[in-house]
Amino acid sequence: MAVQKSRKTPSKRGMHRSHSALAAPAISIDSKSGEIHSRHRISRDGFYRGKKVLQTKADAAAAAAEE
């Protein structure tokens, strides 16, 4: 079994962990609704890249109320 020859110093330990930090999530603002959402994902309003691509429950209820 392999055994380390000497302890890793705090400096070397820090250098080893230098790339382990978590990056902040990429966030976008929708051009039509102004809603904040994750990149390349549909917003909660059903918009993607400024176009309505998904009918939400609120849209269905509003359409039913108009009839």
- What average pLDDT does this structure show over 26-53? 86
Average predicted confidence (pLDDT) for the chain: 88
Continuous H helices in the chain: 10-16, 57-66
With beta carbons less than 8 A apart as the criterion, state whether 33 and 43 touch. Answer: yes
> Of 41, 62, 63, 65, nearest to 53 (Cα)?
41
Sheet strands (E) in the chain:
27-29, 36-38, 47-48, 51-52
pLDDT per position as a tens digit, 20-29: 888 898 998 8
pLDDT category, 6, cuts 50, 70, 90? very high
Q: What is the predicted pLDDT for the residue at 10?
A: 95
Tokens of 56: 């939400």
